[in-house]
Structure 1
Amino acid sequence: MEELKDEIRGCRICAERFAATKTRHAPRPCVWFSAGARVLVCGQAPGLRVHESGRPFDDRSGDRLRDWMGVDRETFYDTTRVAVLPTAFCFPGYDAKGSDLPPPKVCWETWHGDALQAIGPVQVRILIGGYAIRRHLGDTRRVSDVVADWRAQAPGTFVIPHPSWRNNAFLRRHPWFEGEVVPELQRAVGAALTRR
């Protein structure tokens, strides 16, 4: 496990790609998982703030995500309990207009099979946003449609929108998400983390 994590941290496959972005940054993989974690959080890719801090969801989006999960920071950052496995381990950078670039597919293809195997079976899997949904479920529908169909997912799998402020409009239009999905998510996460 530690050898795999060290290999991922040392990955420089995308160095040229990142150097060509508006941010011109070097790779800094954010590796945040351990074997035996009970909850798996699968997002898109680290943002600039996470790139700088080295901690996943170390921003206001993370605060909202932790609220949705019903966990505090200490629990969330305990890798033996909660694993964070983004579609790409590095911040992909911004394009010329300042928009987020997509997570490089090569990261998923290179590392995720080994990472998922090293983490092992989890009790709750949280898929955040379109890239994670497509990678883990193969579902190409709009994120809002997949989220609305949350009861159709396998037991322990939750599909959620990104907890960013950019999705405040989605939350206002779909009050059922925080009224129905979030309580179920909190129950599942709570049960997974307290089960012996």
Structure 2
Amino acid sequence: MQNLLKDIRQCTICKEHLSLGPNPVVSAHPKSKIVIIGQAPGTKVHASGIPWGDASGKQLRKWLNVSDDDFYDDSKFAIMPMGFCYPGKGKSGDLPPRPECAPQWHQALLDKMPNIELIVLIGLYAQNYYLGDIAKKTLTETVKSYKEYLPHYFPLPHPSPRNRFWLTKNPWFEKEVLSELKRRIDRLM
């Protein structure tokens, strides 16, 4: 595992596409039980190297009902975004994650974590990649249908503060989905 993580952290396969240069952010351990697969690091995480070390991460830990210590214990949580590096700025936010990362590294990482019991898929990119044809037409439908993907996958929207409108528009998410997520995470901890 350590050699694989070292290789990932030294990866430069898409450096010519990265405005801030490569700085792969990943965390994993052979004992990890829960895998968090999100989109890609933002500028704050790119600068710090701390996965989910921003406002979105704070909200995610609240959704999971876990402390920072538990979340950053890689024997409990592995963190592997769809794109390991900050992809750059687009017209209306960050660019999509680079398409090279997941096919290059994800399966190799997953193969080194035999104790995985739950993969949390955050956002459309992770859900489309992992759920493929069984993903629904929209993120909202996929998240609402979360029970169909259990016990292996748990789809979530992005916990970004920019998603406040989505959360307000979908009150079932907090009542139903997050309560089930917290129960599952608590059981696995």
Same fold by TM-score greater than 0.5: yes
Task: Report if aligned partners of 1:156, 1:188 keep a CA contact under 8 Å in 2.
Answer: no
Q: 1:106 aligns with which of 96, 100, 103?
A: 100
Task: Report if aligned partners of 1:45, 1:92 keep a CA contact under 8 Å in 2.
Answer: yes
Identity over aligned residues, as a percent? 39
Instruction: Determine if the alignment matches structure 1 residue 169 to structure 2 residue 180.
Output: no
Q: Deviations 1:153-179 (Å, cap 9, x if unpaired)?
A: 121421110000111111111111111
Alignment CA distance shift 1:144-1:77 (3 Å): same
Task: Report if aligned partners of 2:30, 2:115 keep a CA contact under 8 Å in 1.
Answer: no
- 1:177-188 alignment runs, 5 A limit: 177-188=173-184
Partner in structure 2 of residue 21 of structure 1: none
Task: Report if aligned partners of 2:37, 2:82 keep a CA contact under 8 Å in 1.
Answer: yes
Cα displacement (A) at 1:100: 1.0
- 1:123-138 alignment runs, 5 A limit: 123-138=117-132
> Distance in 2 between the 1:15 and 1:169 partners?
34
- 1:36-51 alignment runs, 5 A limit: 36-51=31-46
3-state secondary structure, aligned to 1:61: helix
Q: Structure 1: any 5+ residue segments left out of the alignment?
A: 19-23
* TM-score (normalised: structure 2): 0.95
Q: Deviations 1:60-104 (Å, cap 9, x if unpaired)?
A: 111111011010000000001111111111111113x36311111
Task: Report if aligned partners of 2:26, 2:81 keep a CA contact under 8 Å in 1.
Answer: no
Q: Structure 2: any 5+ residue segments left out of the alignment?
A: none
RMSD: 1.2
Instruction: Determine if the alignment matches structure 1 residue 11 to structure 2 residue 11.
Output: yes
Partner in structure 2 of residue 189 of structure 1: 185
* TM-score (normalised: structure 1): 0.91
